Structure formats: structure tokens, C-alpha cells
């Protein structure tokens, strides 16, 4: 048995570092050179857009994942080895997100970059779902259901993004916008679950 609060502390630290590392690739591209006037600075900042969009998506995903994770509660103060292993695998995928974000930001037009990015996010979602499944003595409240539905929607949107990346790599990330429907989907699911 492992103290749950120690895993939570590790998780907090890894999320903080991963969210901070995301920003390190936001630099004015070398091929633009050093801006010499206002117009060239605006042009250089505009050239960051391909890197900025994956950065914002990744920061949002990590922030929402962390906030959701801290709301998931367990009545137990200790966790078993199975939960600890899933937690470490989950954190592995979280730590890889800055790398896949850099690849996505630098090679936006390539299907492999989009597929790698979506696969990384999908693995975060899948292991997050499995982590919740092995959580000892969870409090199965409205947040629990909302989090599980959100993770399923995130995983499905990542699969769609991967498929679309080989058809239209420049537009495939738009499939992640399906996550905006996660909250309403969870509420509809809860209504049907209560009625049944």
C-alpha cells in the first residue's frame, strides 16, 4: 500500500513542470531573424501562431486534467500497487505532452506530427480513465460521472484527429473541438442514467 497523498504530491509537481515546459518552445523562429522595427516584430509574433495553438491546447488540456483530477475523491488514504503503476503510466504520458506539442508546433502540416500529438493526448485520456477505474473506494458523485464522460469524449476526439490527420493534417486538430460537447454530453447521460 502507498499513501495516496504522496502520489498526489508527485502528480501536482509533474503537472506543474509539464505546463511550464510547454512555453519553452515559444520563440521567434530563427528563419525570421531579429525584428528590427514594429512591423517585423508583429510579423515575427504572427509567425508563432502554429506553435501557439498547440501550446494553448496543451496548457488547457493539462490544466483541465489537473483540475478534474483533484476533484476526483477517494475515501481511502492508501492505494495499492496497481493504482500506483497506472498513476506512473498516466504521468509518463503527461510528461511527454511538451514534446508532442513541440513536434506539433514545428511540423503542423505533417500528418505524423498531428497523429503523434493526438495519440499523446488520447493516451493521457485513456490512462486517466483507467486510473479512475482502479481508484480505491471512490466517491461516485456528479463530478465522477462528468470526468469519465469527458475522458471518453476526449479519447474519441483524439481517434478522430488521428484519422483526419492523414486526410487533412492542417485541419485535423479541429476534431478536438468536440470536447466542448463533453459537459452537455455528461449532463444528458446523467439524466438518462437517473431515468433508467
pLDDT in tens, 123-152: 999 999 999 889 888 888 888 888 888 899
State residue 12's pLDDT score: 93
CB 24 within 8 A of CB 101: no
Residue 30 predicted with pLDDT over 90: no
What integer best gives the mean pLDDT of the chain? 89
Lowest mean pLDDT, pick from 12-16, 100-104, 184-188 = 184-188
pLDDT in tens, 55-77: 999 999 999 888 888 888 888 88
* Grid coordinates given for 6: 504522496
State residue 18's pLDDT score: 95
CB 107 within 8 A of CB 50: no
* Percentage helix, strand, coil for the chain under 3-state DSSP, each rounded to 5: 80, 5, 20
**Can you give the pTM of this predicted structure?**
0.86
Residue 186 predicted with pLDDT over 80: no
Lowest mean pLDDT, pick from 141-150, 165-174, 187-196 = 187-196
* 162 phi and psi angles, rounded to 5 deg: -60, -45
- For the chain, how many residues are written? 196
Q: Could you tell me which of 86, 82, 68, 77 has the C-alpha nearest to residue 141? A: 68
State residue 104's pLDDT score: 92
82-91 mean pLDDT: 93
Percent of the chain with pLDDT over 90: 43
Residue 49 predicted with pLDDT over 80: yes
CA atoms within 13 A on the CB side of 27: 9
For residue 50, what are the CA distances in angstroms to 19, 107, 169? 18, 9, 13
Query: If DSSP codes are grouped into helix, strand and coil, which group holds residue 107?
Result: coil
160-185 mean pLDDT: 88
4-8 mean pLDDT: 90
Amino acid at each position: 500500500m502507498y499513501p495516496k497523498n504522496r502520489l498526489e504530491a508527485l502528480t501536482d509537481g509533474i503537472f506543474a513542470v509539464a505546463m511550464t515546459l510547454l512555453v519553452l518552445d515559444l520563440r521567434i523562429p530563427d528563419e525570421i531573424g531579429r525584428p528590427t522595427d514594429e512591423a517585423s516584430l508583429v510579423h515575427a509574433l504572427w509567425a508563432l501562431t502554429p506553435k501557439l495553438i498547440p501550446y494553448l491546447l496543451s496548457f488547457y488540456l493539462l490544466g483541465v486534467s489537473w483540475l478534474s483530477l483533484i476533484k476526483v475523491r477517494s475515501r481511502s488514504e492508501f492505494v495499492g500497487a496497481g493504482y500506483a503503476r497506472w498513476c506512473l503510466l498516466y504521468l509518463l504520458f503527461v510528461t511527454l505532452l511538451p514534446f508532442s506539442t513541440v513536434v506539433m508546433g514545428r511540423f503542423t502540416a505533417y500528418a505524423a506530427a498531428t497523429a503523434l500529438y493526438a495519440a499523446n493526448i488520447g493516451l493521457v485520456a485513456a490512462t486517466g480513465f483507467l486510473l479512475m477505474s482502479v481508484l480505491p473506494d471512490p466517491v461516485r458523485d456528479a463530478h465522477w460521472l462528468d470526468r469519465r464522460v469527458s475522458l471518453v469524449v476526449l479519447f474519441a476526439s483524439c481517434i478522430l484527429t488521428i484519422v483526419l490527420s492523414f486526410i487533412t493534417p492542417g485541419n485535423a486538430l479541429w476534431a478536438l473541438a468536440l470536447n466542448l460537447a463533453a459537459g452537455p454530453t455528461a449532463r444528458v447521460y446523467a439524466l438518462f442514467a437517473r431515468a433508467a
